[in-house]
């Protein structure tokens, strides 16, 4: 089974109140969103209503590339639209502000969760079943929409 890139980070939800206002907020996990919402601790940023639900979020889809265009993960390819530019910015931010731990991602994430390693932002690779086990154990991780850059000597 192949390795997938993962990062220990927050989840962003688009939310909607009962007055049809939309806003975004970040949570450490789906469970933390559910717990905060049930406790009435999430409120609309525009009207203050505590009746808040997750809004339907559609993925951004880019138009087909022309023949000869560089693939999206090619380091020299320029973003073709706002979504690609945002993804490139997210990749830069993650790579500049977290430690790449490669195949040790699961071990490192678990050690931090258990207090055996210092808390820090990390990214690396894990099999899908390993990432699922981390989530089931309450360790917040998220799949990255790109493969991490690897430093090769």
Residue-wise pLDDT for 45-56, tens only, equals 899 999 999 887
Q: Identify the pLDDT of residue 16.
A: 93
- Which regions of the chain are under pLDDT 70? 1-10, 57-77, 148, 150-153
Q: pTM value?
A: 0.50
Q: d(Cα 36, Cα 41) in Å, to the nearest integer?
A: 5
Biggest distance spanned by C-alpha atoms of the chain: 56
Residue-wise pLDDT for 65-94, tens only, equals 554 555 555 554 677 788 888 888 888 888
For the chain, domain boundaries? 4-8+78-143, 11-54
Q: Identify the pLDDT of residue 153.
A: 45
Q: d(Cα 123, Cα 133) in Å, to the nearest integer?
A: 17
Pairing of strands 142-143, 22-27: unpaired
- Number of CB atoms found within 10 A of residue 65's CB: 12
Q: d(Cα 43, Cα 51) in Å, to the nearest integer?
A: 7
Q: How far apart are the first and last CA of the chain?
A: 26
Q: d(Cα 74, Cα 88) in Å, to the nearest integer?
A: 11
């Amino acid at each position: 089974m192949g390795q997938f890139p993962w990062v220990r980070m927050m989840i962003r939800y688009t939310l909607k109140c009962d007055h049809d206002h939309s806003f975004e907020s970040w949570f450490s996990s789906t469970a933390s969103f559910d717990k905060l919402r049930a406790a009435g601790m999430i409120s609309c940023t525009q009207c203050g209503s505590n009746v808040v639900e997750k809004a339907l979020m559609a993925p951004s889809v880019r138009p087909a590339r022309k023949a000869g265009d560089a693939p999206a993960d090619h380091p020299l390819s320029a973003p073709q639209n706002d979504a690609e530019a945002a993804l490139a910015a997210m990749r830069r931010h993650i790579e500049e502000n977290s430690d790449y731990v490669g195949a040790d991602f699961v071990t490192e994430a678990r050690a931090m969760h258990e207090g055996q390693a210092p808390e820090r932002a990390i990214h690396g690779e894990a099999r899908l079943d390993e990432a699922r086990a981390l989530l089931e154990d309450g360790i917040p991780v998220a799949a990255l929409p790109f493969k991490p850059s690897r430093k090769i000597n």
